[in-house]
């Protein structure tokens, strides 16, 4: 990983599409033709987020480059680290709150939304968290190319983009092919926890996860909302629109 001094020059409120130090993504990754589950957007970063990124990215973050498998124990500095992967952490405030409440568990938080990395780093610093690491890029590539089979103790996907238009449904993250990949990275006994405020997506989550022979639903259908899951920004927006929030909770058999 490059040092802070070799990081590309970025300024607060500048576009931060390629602001992370780290090796460039592999050429194969650039050429890959794949339907993406995220919006192609550039972020605007506040001064505080930028400063946290400049101070702490090298210590806590990696760019998803599709090149090397991660040694999670070494990265978290723990023997047999129990790592939960959170996909799409957004601004990361819920991630930081959950990590602070579970110091024995490690959280690898991945998103493509760059200001969130600065914000989560700010929370890591202010809350003195040593159990959170960040990845910037596509979670599908992270799972496929950089995480070993049976290396994770959990998967969290809270309020993934619902892609409500029929022509965009193919962009939803929770699809059989994605679930097969994700499950292969989970240890037996690991949990898969998803939440959404978009009812048709909740039904899809239940159907797709139930369709995996390697997952068992821990509830008859939807799970009760756990009180340890903080209300996220997107959840708050959904609740303000009168949406019903659904949690689904499965275990890798």
Ligand X SMILES: C[S@@+](CC[C@H](N)C(=O)[O-])C[C@H]1O[C@@H](n2cnc3c(N)ncnc32)[C@H](O)[C@@H]1O
Q: What are the catalytic residues?
A: 161
Among 90, 115, 118, 154, interactor with ligand X by CB under 6 A: 90
Of 73 and 184, nearer to ligand X (C-beta) is 184
Q: Is 159 in the site for ligand X (CB under 6 A)?
A: yes
Token pair, residue 15, equals: 């576009």
Does residue 140 bind ligand X (CB under 6 A)? yes
Site for ligand X in 200-229 (CB under 6 A): none
Q: Which of 65, 138, 153, 197 binds ligand X (CB under 6 A)?
A: 138
Among the residue ranges 159-167, 183-191, 219-227, 242-250, the one whose residues contact ligand X (CB under 6 A): 159-167
Pair of tokens at residue 241? 């629109």
Q: What is the DSSP secondary-structure string of 100-145? A: HH-TTSEEEEEES-HHHHHHHHHHHHHHT-SSEEEEES-HHHIIII
Nearest distance, CB of residue 195 and ligand X, angstroms: 8
Give the nearest distance from C-beta 80 to ligand X in angstroms.
26
112 binds ligand X (CB under 6 A): yes
Nearer of residues 131 and 232 to ligand X, judged by Cβ: 232
Token pair for 68: 């090397």
80 torsion bin: left (phi>0), alpha (psi -120 to 50), beta (else): left
Compute the least distance from the CB of residue 220 to ligand X, in Å.
Answer: 25
Q: Which is nearer to ligand X, 50 or 159 (CB)?
A: 159
Closest-approach residue to ligand X (CB): 88
Q: 130: closest CA among 105, 110, 147, 153?
A: 105
**161 lies in the site for ligand X, by CB under 6 A:** yes
Q: Which stretch binds ligand X (CB under 6 A): 71-79, 88-96, 145-153, 245-253?
A: 88-96
Per rule CB under 6 A, is residue 61 in the interface with ligand X?
Answer: no
How far is 233 from 51, CA to CA, in rounded Å? 23
Out of 143, 173, 174, 183, the residue judged to bind ligand X by CB under 6 A: 173
Binding ligand X by CB under 6 A: which of 19, 20, 22, 37? Answer: 37
Report the distance separating Cα 195 and Cα 86, nearest Å: 12
User: DSSP E strands: which ranges in the chain?
Assistant: 61-63, 83-87, 106-111, 132-136, 152-158, 186-196, 215-217, 246-252
Strand partners, 87: 110
Q: Which is nearer to ligand X, 52 or 245 (CB)?
A: 245
**CA 83, CA 152: separation in Å to the nearest integer?**
5
Residue 210 CB coordination number (10 Å): 13
Give me the residues that bind ligand X (CB under 6 A), please: 37-38, 87-90, 110-113, 138-140, 158-161, 173, 232-235
């Amino acid at each position: 990983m490059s040092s802070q001094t070799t990081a590309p020059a970025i300024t607060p409120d500048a576009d931060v599409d390629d602001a992370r130090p780290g090796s460039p993504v592999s050429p194969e990754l650039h050429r890959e033709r794949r339907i993406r589950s995220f919006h192609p957007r550039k972020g605007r970063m506040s001064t505080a987020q930028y400063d946290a990124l400049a101070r702490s990215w090298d210590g806590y973050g990696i760019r998803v480059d599709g090149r090397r498998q991660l040694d999670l124990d070494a990265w978290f500095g723990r023997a047999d680290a129990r790592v939960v992967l959170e996909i799409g952490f957004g601004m990361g405030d819920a991630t930081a709150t959950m990590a602070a409440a579970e110091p024995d568990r490690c959280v690898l938080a991945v998103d493509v939304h760059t200001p969130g990395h600065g914000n989560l780093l700010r929370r890591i610093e202010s809350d003195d968290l040593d159990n959170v690491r960040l990845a910037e890029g596509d979670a599908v590539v992270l799972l496929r190319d950089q995480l070993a089979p049976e290396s994770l103790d959990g998967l969290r996907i809270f309020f993934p983009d619902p892609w409500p238009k029929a022509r965009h449904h193919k962009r939803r993250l929770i699809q059989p092919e994605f679930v097969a990949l994700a499950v292969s990275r989970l240890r037996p006994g690991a949990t898969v926890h998803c939440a959404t405020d978009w009812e048709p997506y909740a039904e899809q989550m239940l159907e797709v996860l139930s369709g995996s022979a390697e997952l068992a639903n821990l509830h008859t259908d939807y799970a009760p909302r756990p009180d340890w899951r903080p209300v996220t920004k997107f959840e708050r927006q959904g609740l303000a629109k009168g949406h019903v929030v659904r949690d689904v909770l499965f275990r890798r058999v």
